[in-house]
């Protein structure tokens, strides 16, 4: 059963037109928001994928190195594998801080202007 979107209430502002969306997308403010996001996300993504592929390649082609015992039954492969999880959580935390400090205020300003709240 398909649900229909109810019409906007009288207290709700009308949605911006397609032309207004295009104008915002082409604005310097939106371009700065996009640059801010990309300058953080793209290099970090490349770094993480490289780090992940290094782990996979070492696991496949450097079994002797990965099997090197560090202490007890803990070897290099286990430590690097756990480091994969650690870096994933660190990147997520770092991105959340970056977004809250740099991206969210810019996005909120654009959203407020589009919704006519200013």
pLDDT in tens, 90-114: 999 999 999 999 999 999 999 888 8
Is position 44 within any domain? yes
| Residue 99 domain-assigned (yes or no) | yes
Position 61 in a domain: yes
Cβ distance 1 to 78 under 8 Å?
Answer: no
Share of the chain above pLDDT 90, in %: 69
Structural domain harbouring 47: 18-115
Q: Is residue 72 in a domain?
A: yes
Domain count, the chain: 1
Q: Is residue 3 part of a domain?
A: no
pTM of the model: 0.74
Structural domain contains residue 76: yes
For the chain, how far is it from start to end, CA to CA, in angstroms? 39
């Amino acid at each position: 059963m398909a649900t229909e979107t109810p019409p906007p209430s009288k207290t709700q502002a009308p949605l911006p037109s397609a032309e207004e969306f295009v104008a915002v997308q082409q604005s310097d403010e939106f371009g700065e928001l996009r640059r801010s996001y990309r300058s953080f996300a793209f290099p970090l993504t490349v770094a993480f994928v490289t780090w992940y592929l290094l782990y996979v390649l070492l696991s496949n082609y450097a079994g002797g190195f990965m099997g090197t015992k560090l202490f007890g039954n803990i070897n290099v492969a286990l430590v690097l594998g756990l480091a994969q999880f650690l870096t994933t959580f660190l990147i997520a935390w770092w991105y959340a801080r970056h977004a809250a400090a740099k991206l969210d205020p810019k996005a909120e300003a654009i959203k407020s202007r589009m919704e006519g709240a200013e």
